[in-house]
Structure 1
């Protein structure tokens, strides 16, 4: 089963969900805000994708952080911030079997799901 992680009101999430539905692919959507995210799950995402890739540095939540916080980020502090503020996690995060993919790209989704 495909799992998609994100925040339901995100425009990119909406595009990705529409794509999956148009291709009649069953998936489970996990909303970081409503369903929560465990420390273990986030650690696994970080292991698979790297914490720097998970951290959404383009979002307003990240940009609102004090400069000192941004300058001193390491994996532990970044993961703690992402747990506190799930909007700082790039989305969507798609998981199928043991394959992890960040962001939405129709071509990449097609390639992943054809395998």
Structure 2
């Protein structure tokens, strides 16, 4: 099986669950620390459409970075502005982000991982 990339945050419980699932299923993973290396604009231009989610669904709405921006500011922001924020602050990105070829999963749902690697 080819190596997949996962953008992860060491302090994130959901990321830990995803990494455990991947390890338990023998998936070779390259871990990229999302806070130190947030997604680039070029990556997001490919990954957002590949995920099937709107850019707003990429926001980690339970994190401090989101709360610092405030819901009203996010609601008023353009998709381009949100994309720029995601490139500037890895903690603003919903995680983990798993990239396997042209497939991108945001967050961890066991069924989605099983479907991708099954």
TM-score by length of 1: 0.85
Report runs of 4+ in structure 1 exceeding 6 Å deviation. Answer: none
Matched, 1:82 2:86: yes
Structure 1: runs of 5+ lacking an equivalent: none
- Kindly report the root-mean-square deviation, in angstroms, between the aligned alpha carbons of the 2 structures: 1.7
Q: Equivalents in 1 of 2:86, 2:38: separation in Å?
A: 11
Matched, 1:106 2:110: yes
Structure 2: runs of 5+ lacking an equivalent: none
TM-score by length of 2: 0.83
Question: Alignment length, in residue pairs?
Answer: 114
**Cα deviations across residues 72-105 of structure 1 (Å, max 9, x unaligned)?**
1111110111122111111111121211111112
Cα distance change on mapping 1:54 and 1:67 into 2, 3 Å: closer
**What pairs up with 1:28-107 in 2 under 5 angstroms?**
28-49=30-51, 50-66=54-70, 68-107=72-111
**Cα deviations across residues 12-61 of structure 1 (Å, max 9, x unaligned)?**
11111111111221111111223343221122222323212211222221
